[in-house]
Each structure stands twice: as C-alpha cells, then as structure tokens.
Amino acid sequence: LSDRLTSTFKNLRSKGRLSEADIDATIREIRRALLDADVAVPVVKDFTGAIRDRALSAEVSGALNPAQQVVKIVNEELVAILGGESRGLRLAKNPPTVIMLAGLQGAGKTTLAGKLALHLREQGHTPLLVAADLQRPNAVNQLSVVGERAGVPVYAPLPGNQGSEGESGTSVGDPVQVARDGVETARQRQHDVVIVDTAGRLGVDAELMRQAADIRDAVNPDEILFVIDAMIGQDAVATAKAFEEGVDFTGVVLSKLDGDARGGAALSVARVTGRPILFASTGEKLTDFEAFHPDRMASRILDMGDVLTLIEQAEKAFDADEAAKMAEKVASGQDFTLADFLVQMQQMKNMGSMKKMLGMLPGMGQMREALDNFDEREVDRIEAIIRSMTPGERDNPKIINGSRRARIARGSGVTTSDVNQLLDRFAGAQKMMRQMSRGGGMPGMPGMGN
Ligand code: GDP
Ligand code: MG
C-alpha cells in the first residue's frame, strides 16, 4: 500500500497548483490507507471530507510540491485529532487521586494497573492497587502478582479466600463495596494515588456497565481510563461509545500496540469521543508502557514515514534558504522592508523549524519570545494590512500619516490601532535588523545555507 501511495504522489509531483481531481485521487489513496489501518468507516468518511475541504482552500506552499502538501495536511489533521488535548494524568489537589480503569475483558486493564502503579511509584508516588474485579475467579490473584512485581501494595477482599478456581462464574463479594473500602484504606494509610481495577466482559453488556457506573459513583474518580485493545478494529467505535455512555471516561489508554495493529482504533476513539489518549501499552512486561505520542501514531496509521521525512526536509531546506536570503540582505546593509517583515511572519507559522532556527541565531531572543505567544491569524491580518499599502508606503513607512493609516485600516478590514501596532512592530524589527547589520551581519550561523 505504501508503494501505491508513493506512486500516486510521484504522479502528483511537478504539477503546479493542486486541482480538485489531484486532491480526490490522493484522498482515495488516503482513504484506503486509513481503512487498511482499521479506522472505522464513518470516521474515515468524516475525516477525508475535512481533509478535502482544507486541501481545496490551502494556499500553495513554496516549500512543498502539491502532493506533499496534501500529505502534510493529512498528517497535521491526524496529529490534531490524536493529540488535540494530549496530556498526562490529572492528580487530585487533595490526595488520594482516584484512578479507575474500565474496558472490555482482555483489554489489558489489570496489566495496565501494574504498569501505572510502577510508573507512579518511580515518580515518587505511593500508589495502592484495588482489586474490584470479582468477576473472573483468578482476577484478584492476577492483580496481586502484578502488584508484587511493581512493588506496590494491593487491597483485595478477604485475602487468601479469593481466586479459588471452583467458583468460576459466580462473583464473590461486592465489587462496589471493595472499591469503596479500597479508597478509604488508601486515605487512612496515606497513599496518594489509588488505582481501581474493574471487571470487564467479552462484549458490551448492560450489567457490566451498571457495575462500572456503580463503582464510579462509589469512589468518585479523578480519572476514568478507558483501556482499549489496539487490535479491536471496527468494533472500536461501538465499544468506545458504549463506555462513554455507560460510565464515561476522562482519558484513553491504547493497549497491545506492540502487535501488528496499525492503530486505526486510536483515531476512531479519539475522533468519536474527543477524549485524549494518555498512554500506550506495548507489551506484557510492566515496563512496556509509554506516554502516547500523537505524531508517531499518525505516521503509523498513515504508514508513510518516508514521505513525512521528505516533507520535513523540504521545509527545512526552504526555511534555511529564506533565512539565508534575509541574512545576506541584512549583511549587505540593505534595509529591511515591510515585504521582508511579511516573509518573516509567514515563516513564523512554521513554528517547529523556526524555533530551532532562531535557537541557532545570536541575538534573536526577543523573537523567540514573540514566537511563544504567536497567533497564526496574526499573519493573515498583517498580510492584509501590508497589501492595502501603496508601493510607496511599503518602501517608506515613514510617510504613513494618520489619514493613510485610516485608509489602510479600511482597506484591510482592521482597526487603525491594528495598523499602528503593525507599524510599531515593524519599526522594532527594522531597528533590530540594523543593529545586527552594524554588528557585522549575523556571524557564525551554523547550519545555515549549508
Ligand atoms: P483485562 O481483562 O482488561 O484486565 O486484561 P489483562 O490485563 O488481563 O490482559 C489480557 C491479556 O493481554 C494478558 O494476557 C496480558 O498479558 C495481555 N496484555 C495486556 N496488555 C498487553 C500489551 O500491551 N501487549 C501485549 N502483547 N499483551 C498485553
Ligand atoms: Mg483484569
């Protein structure tokens, strides 16, 4: 499939602007890639529709060919959906933080409980594991083993009496009561985190949901983590929706990412529930556990790592080229113009590489600061303002008096104070550039212009 995609992109290469037909051809391939990765069908439809709209209205980039541009859009959207709200665990202000695990049987909850416990312990927390799965005969034992391996204590009902294999099918004790007592025990013994493991069923089931909701109501969790097997495929949407409605959850953990699953479930769940994916479980060992990386997942789903690398390189080369031109201009003592300023602002849109680049340039501290509170819409506004100026005004902003400012503001649909602000900022940038040129240009720019 990757080959097919790559050849489609080769065909698209070297054409000028992206036509509707080009975009549709690319999107057909993207759709196939997503279905191959087992992204749910309605999610694929919805997602490719959004991509199509964005691609049609995208401005043509100087750095990328049209095909690369579409891939870039696809990748950006994927990362946004997968990591729009990417975050770590939310710890309670008043300990203990209560974390409840929910999900189907076999999803990897108990294994995750151990992984989380170890992870938290390594960070200096004092977690307690609570065995509120009384459904499967061996569940309590399984958690005890996991707890022992993680070096974390386990609260279990009637220690020693659990897990007798003969009781298969019948539940011993009340999981809701166990969960409540477990959290109370954590409070008394001053554990700062409690992880409540719960039972799952093989499929979505009303009784299971009721039990999970009852446990939730009894322990009032700070986090409810929905654990889902990355291999679940097309069932991801129905399962996630059922848990969202039945118990609701604050975050997702994707398990068994060490398998061959391309991880379409991640996209399905993120898109359908809008909940953040916090962690990835990548094996049976307690250390096979990591924070979820939206960018890695996007590239796994697309299965186009090489194309993405190419895009990154092309953009870097382009930025370096533009920066080198700018540096040459400054060094030669030519004045920094509004047009240069606009180019500079547009480059700031490309934050990642820009930040790196600024890091390499001496005396750019102010700009790096500006980047941190940079708004992309700002560039559009600035562009509109500069386009509303006459060539004479662009060459020599000093002639822009009050009435010219008002005219420019009207022409670009902004307020006069926006125009004033832009001119002030430009004057600041110009001054900075002059200082640099007086200081002998930008000496020693490693990595610039090769
Ligand atoms: P639970 O029913 O949700 O508690 O699921 P378990 O934690 O008992 O896991 C079910 C099975 O999947 C066990 O055999 C685990 O060893 C295995 N498992 C859990 N997480 C992973 C993972 O990330 N990768 C792999 N390969 N196996 C896993
Ligand atoms: Mg379990």
Domains in the chain: ranges and CATH: 2-83 (1.20.120.140), 97-299 (3.40.50.300), 333-438 (1.10.260.30)
The per-residue pLDDT for range 356-406, each reduced to its tens digit, is 444 545 455 555 565 565 666 777 888 889 989 988 898 888 899 999 999
Distance, in Å, from the CA atom of 72 to the CA atom of 51, rounded to the nearest integer, reads 10
Q: Point out the least confidently predicted range of 191-195, 241-245, 424-428.
A: 424-428
pLDDT of residue 338: 84
**Could you give the CA distance from residue 191 to residue 126 in angstroms, rounded to a whole number?**
5
CB under 6 Å to ligand 1: residues?
103, 105-111, 200, 255-256, 258, 281-284, 288
- Position 212 scores a pLDDT of 95
For ligand 1, mutation pick of 101, 111, 142, 204 (most atoms within 8 Å of CB): 111
pLDDT at 139: 93
Please give the share of the chain, as a percent, with pLDDT higher than 90. Answer: 49
Q: Which residues pair with 101 in a beta bridge?
A: 225
Centroid of chain to Cα 72: 15
Distance 26 CA to ligand 2 centre (A): 43
User: Is 230 annotated in some ligand binding site?
Assistant: no
Burial of 160 (0-12, 13-18, 19+ CB in 10 A): exposed
Average pLDDT (126-145) is 94
pLDDT at 294 > cutoff 70: yes
Q: What is the pLDDT of residue 8?
A: 53
DSSP 233: G
Six-digit token string for 341: 């300023």
What is the C-alpha to C-alpha distance for residues 239 and 261, in angstroms, rounded to an integer? Answer: 17
- Give the atom of ligand 1 at the shortest distance from the alpha carbon of 257: 23
Cβ burial, residue 2 (10 Å; 0-12/13-18/19+): middle
Amino acid occupying residue 426? F
Q: Which atom of ligand 1 is nearest to the CA of 142?
A: 8
pLDDT of residue 148: 97
CA of 116 relative to ligand 2 center, distance in Å: 14
The confidence score (pLDDT) of residue 364 equals 53
- 53 pLDDT higher than 50: yes
Q: 248: helix, coil or strand?
A: coil
Q: Which ligand is nearest to the CA of 146?
A: 1
| Nearest CA owner, ligand 1 atom 5 | 108
Residue 383 confidence (pLDDT)? 87
Is 60 exceeded by the pLDDT of residue 104? Answer: yes
**Of 31, 82, 104, 48, nearest to 269 (Cα)?**
82
Question: Does 182 belong to an annotated binding site?
Answer: no
Tokens 């939730």 -> residue: 216
- pLDDT for the residue numbered 108: 97
Instruction: Decide if pLDDT at 239 tops 50.
Output: yes
Q: Is pLDDT above 80 for 301?
A: yes
Range 408-429 average pLDDT? 91
Q: Which of 250-264, 295-309, 423-437 has the highest mean pLDDT?
A: 250-264
Report the nearest-CA residue for atom 26 of ligand 1: 283
Query: Residue of the nearest CA to atom 19 in ligand 1?
Result: 108
| 176 vs 322, residue with greater confidence | 176
**Mean pLDDT on 335-344:** 77
Mean pLDDT of 125-131: 97
Confidence of residue 419 (pLDDT cuts 50, 70, 90): very high
139-153, 256-270, 301-315, 386-400, range with greatest mean pLDDT: 139-153
For β-strands 193-198 and 223-229, DSSP reports them as unpaired
